[in-house]
A and B are shown apart, each in its own frame.
Chain A
């Protein structure tokens, strides 16, 4: 399993599988920075179909610049968005 550390630049998988996915479409394919690791949790994509959620997945807080998410973002260039993403949705840059 890929492990990430705070400060790592990561890209969210640009993928559109069916089912219960807790990675919103607006961050897929976008680049951000890992801020912290929250621990390891049962995989919600498997829990949603009645499985036990194993193997568990590491959950990371990933920070994006708003201007990287929305090219026409109207606020300050320093504005950010933090979101919780499971490891299998992240790739190290």
Chain B
């Protein structure tokens, strides 16, 4: 247990939940399905736990490694841009039923990803999407006024650069390959990966500077 160091006057805890009942229709449906699959010995509880553990093991750090490899290995970058689905297999990653399309930021074009219909996201390389990515506001405004949205993330793309929004409406999942920051010529692949943020791979921001 972690020590309790903060004062409760400053940061009150929410009271512990008295009621852990399942409320929503889809929660009930999901639980019923899970119990039936287990009862019929189609899957085991351990398999479900392992699937959740695998899902949780994929974080933006996974995508950052791919970007850093592309920054340091030109041949890998070419493979990644030509066929993202195949290229990430070199990292032991699998897109499943979807395909990965990697779009490269250049001095002339800056890419931003959105899914206006739902919340399609390159989960195989970035993990679960942030809540703002799934919000109606981001989904509507990212296509309607992307430059204003980027400014709210602190990202100003010069008017001389084409801003290109990708609306993922089908089986393609998009990952932005950001531009390698200047002055990073001497950094190792691992050091470069630490500069690559989740938001820079969605395109709403730029990588950290060295």
Tell me if B164 and A81 are in contact (CB < 8 A).
Answer: yes
Residues of B within 8 A of A84 (CB): 167-172
Q: Known contacts A26-B143, A38-B99; is A79 also within 8 Å of B172 by CB?
A: no
- B163 in the interface (beta carbon within 8 A): yes
Most chain B CB atoms below 10 A, which of A26, A38, A66, A86? A66
Residues of B within 8 A of A85 (CB): 169-170
Within the complex, the shortest CB–CB distance from B88 to chain A, in Å, comes to 17
Tell me if B167 and A81 are in contact (CB < 8 A).
Answer: yes
Within the complex, the shortest CB–CB distance from A17 to chain B, in Å, comes to 15
* CB neighbors of B among A34-93 (8 A): 38, 41, 44, 59, 61, 63, 66, 69-70, 73-76, 78-86
Within the complex, the shortest CB–CB distance from A9 to chain B, in Å, comes to 18
In the assembled complex, the Cα of A76 lies from the Cα of B162 at a distance in Å of 7
Tally B residues with Cβ within 8 Å of A. 23
Q: Closest chain B residue to A22 by CB distance?
A: B169
Q: Closest chain A residue to B145 by CB distance?
A: A74
* CB neighbors of A among B128-164 (8 A): 143-148, 159-164
Residues of B within 8 A of A23 (CB): 169
Contact of B162 among A22, A59, A73, A79 (CB under 8 A): A79
Tally A residues with Cβ within 8 Å of B. 26
Tell me if A41 and B171 are in contact (CB < 8 A).
Answer: yes
Q: Known contacts A38-B172, A41-B170, A59-B170; is A80 also within 8 Å of B164 by CB?
A: yes
- B200 in the interface (beta carbon within 8 A): no
Contact of B165 among A22, A76, A82 (CB under 8 A): A82
Tell me if A79 and B146 are in contact (CB < 8 A).
Answer: yes
- B116 in the interface (beta carbon within 8 A): yes
Within the complex, the shortest CB–CB distance from B82 to chain A, in Å, comes to 12
Tell me if B168 and A81 are in contact (CB < 8 A).
Answer: no
Tell me if B162 and A44 are in contact (CB < 8 A).
Answer: no
Within the complex, the shortest CB–CB distance from B49 to chain A, in Å, comes to 29
Q: Knowing that A76-B163, A84-B167 touch, tell me 19 more A-B residue pairs with CB under 8 angstroms.
A: A22-B117, A23-B169, A24-B167, A26-B144, A38-B99, A38-B172, A41-B170, A63-B164, A70-B144, A74-B147, A75-B159, A75-B163, A76-B161, A79-B162, A79-B163, A80-B162, A81-B164, A83-B169, A84-B169
Can you give 6 contacting A-B residue pairs, CB < 8 Å? A22-B170, A59-B172, A66-B163, A76-B161, A81-B143, A83-B167
6 shortest A-B CB distances, which residue pairs? Answer: A84-B170, A75-B147, A83-B167, A78-B162, A79-B163, A81-B165
Give the A-binding residues of B (Cβ under 8 A). 99, 116-117, 143-148, 159-172
